[in-house]
Copies of this chain bind each other. A is one copy, B any other.
Amino acid sequence: MLKGFEKESFSAEDGLQARYEVDAFHADYCAVLDENNIEQWPEFFTEDCFYRVTERENADLNLPVGLVYAEGRAMLQDRAVAIGRTQMFAPRNLLHFISNIRILAVGGGSITSVANYLLLQTLIEGPTTIHQAGRIYDKFIRSEGRLLIKERQAVYDTAIIANDLVYPI
């Protein structure tokens, strides 16, 4: 378990409501990525967000390193532009599956949660294969009636990840 993501207590009503909101957020977020609208991706984050993609082993040892590391929405925007260009060279379809959403804390306009993700990849004219799987640890805050990610740490189980595509999780 990642530090800062311990389960706290909250009412059943708050849990159900948060569960619904986080679920809808993930579905919208993944739809943007899966439809290749990567330029919209940074809009799901706060201005001062923290974003990290790291291997499970690093996360277990509380090592701060990661495959991807970004502080602030501006860095995500740079990243989105870079990925948008790289994509052209190796066309493929991606499909994110989010499952096992756990609400860990609710209160004061924020929600902490973790979920499992499975990222499938389909190369043009090829079969669909598992590209990556792991867990996403999130801290959301509510802003103008919708959730935004203040912190996301994607911790992947899959040790072998093709370097030609470090696509957002």
Contacts and interface: CB of A to CB of B under 8 A. Distances in A.
A28 B157 CA distance: 18
B122 A157 contact: yes
Assembly stoichiometry (copies): 3
Contacts of A26: 100
Interface stretch (A16-24, A66-74, A77-85): A16-24
A120 B157 contact: yes
Interface in A108-155: 114, 116, 118, 120, 122, 124-130, 132-135
Interface in A34-63: 34-35, 56
A128 B99 contact: no
A105 interface: no
A31 B130 contact: no
Interface residues of A, number: 47
Contact of A15 (B12, B19, B24, B97): B24
B133 A130 contact: no
A125 B96 CA distance: 22
Contact of A1 (B15, B23, B35, B96): B35
Given A16-B20, A125-B159, A157-B122, A27 B102 contact: yes
Nearest 3 A-B pairs (CB), nearest first?
A122-B157, A93-B157, A27-B102
8 contacts: A16-B17, A19-B23, A34-B116, A95-B116, A96-B116, A122-B133, A122-B157, A128-B133
